[in-house]
Amino acid sequence: MFGLHGRFVAQPGQGDALEAILLEAAEALGEREACRLYVVSRSPEEPESVWVTEAWTSREEHERSLEDKGVRALIERARPLIAEIGDRTELRPVGGKGL
C-alpha cells in the first residue's frame, strides 16, 4: 500500500473552488480499483487550506493515475488556484475502515 496526506493552500478566496475540483478528482477516481481512499477535508481555522488523504494499492498505481487525461485536466484547472503546497507526508497504510 501507498498513501499520501497533504495540504494545498489556495489563493485568497479560492478555497471553495479548489475544494470543488478536488472533489471532482475524488469522483473521477471512484472507478479506479487501485485507489482505495481519496478524502478531501477542510480546516475551520484555515479557510484556504484543503487537505487530501489518499491510499493506493502501490506507488506505481498512484503515479499511473497522474498520467490519465481526465486527472491531468483537473490538475491543470487546480494549479492556478494553489498558492502553496503545504505539509505533505507519504504513508504506508496498514488497515482500517475505508481500506
> pLDDT tens track of the chain, all 99 residues?
999 999 999 999 999 999 999 999 999 998 899 999 999 999 999 999 999 999 999 999 999 999 999 999 999 999 999 999 999 999 999 999 888
CA distances in angstroms from 97 to 40, 55, 83, 84, listed in the order given: 16, 12, 32, 30
In 10 A of CB 53, how many CB atoms? 17
- Cα 76 to Cα 91: distance, rounded to the nearest angstrom: 25
Residue-level pLDDT at 55: 97
pTM above threshold 0.75? yes
Grid coordinates representing 16 are 471553495
Structural domains of the chain, ranges and CATH numbers in brackets: 2-91 (3.30.70.100)
For residue 35, what are the β-bridge partners? Answer: 56
The confidence score (pLDDT) of residue 98 equals: 83
